[in-house]
């Protein structure tokens, strides 16, 4: 995922199945020495040490640094990749390990302009299928074919939530998905409920 919002990690998927290409806001570490910081402890320190610009009555009047417990530097922050920083090594390792065996690559909700994440579409085997789920066609310059004679590319046009919910219904997984509602945002729950109500 290129999303940094941490929602992917809230899905109960095992961490070894998620590669956060641009990092995530639900983990924290030191930019200097790389030591991880317990995220709950990091959030507590943010509340105690960082000025709340939206509700100034909450928290301190002035911000002070959050120091790394290992090296003492004031460089602890969420594990997001800032412009000019290196991507996590896991992205490159998993690309080498996982892509040669890919049968199907699903690309969802992206412009496919951010490199090197967009390189995945041409690093998979030539025999692999690619499904693009998006509101508009993307990635033509990367070799994705939207023409009538496309052999390996399929364009599933529309909102990602709607397209994937239709796929889930086609596969007969709606009841399974409904059973996982406690892990979902209200918008997703409402979408599932409307789909279930429509099937009655």
Catalytic residue positions, numbered: 22
Q: What is the largest CA-CA distance in the chain?
A: 63
Residue 133: φ, ψ to 5°: -110, 110
Q: Where are the alpha helices (DSSP H) in the chain?
A: 39-49, 89-98, 120-123, 160-170, 174-178, 186-199
Residue 153 contacts residue 57 (beta carbons within 8 Å): no
Coil, helix or strand at residue 27: strand
Virtual torsion, Cα 106, 110, 114, 120, nearest 10 deg: 0
């Amino acid at each position: 995922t290129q999303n940094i919002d941490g929602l992917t990690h809230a899905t109960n998927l095992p961490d070894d199945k998620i590669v956060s290409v641009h990092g995530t806001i639900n983990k924290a570490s030191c930019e200097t020495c790389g030591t991880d910081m317990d995220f709950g402890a990091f959030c507590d320190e943010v509340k105690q040490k960082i000025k709340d610009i939206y509700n100034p009555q909450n928290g301190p009047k002035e911000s002070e640094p959050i120091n790394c417990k290992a090296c003492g530097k004031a460089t602890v922050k969420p594990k997001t990749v800032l412009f000019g920083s290196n991507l996590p090594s896991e992205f490159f390792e998993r690309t080498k390990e996982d892509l040669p065996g890919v049968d199907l690559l699903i690309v969802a909700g992206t412009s496919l302009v951010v490199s090197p994440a967009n390189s995945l579409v041409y690093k998979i085997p030539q025999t692999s299928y690619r499904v693009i789920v998006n509101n508009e066609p993307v990635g033509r310059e990367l070799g994705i074919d939207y023409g009538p004679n496309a052999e390996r590319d399929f364009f599933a046009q529309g909102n990602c939530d709607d397209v994937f919910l239709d796929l889930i219904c086609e596969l007969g997984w709606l009841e399974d998905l409904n059973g996982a509602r406690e892990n979902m945002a209200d918008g997703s729950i409402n979408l599932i409920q409307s789909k279930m109500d429509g099937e009655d």
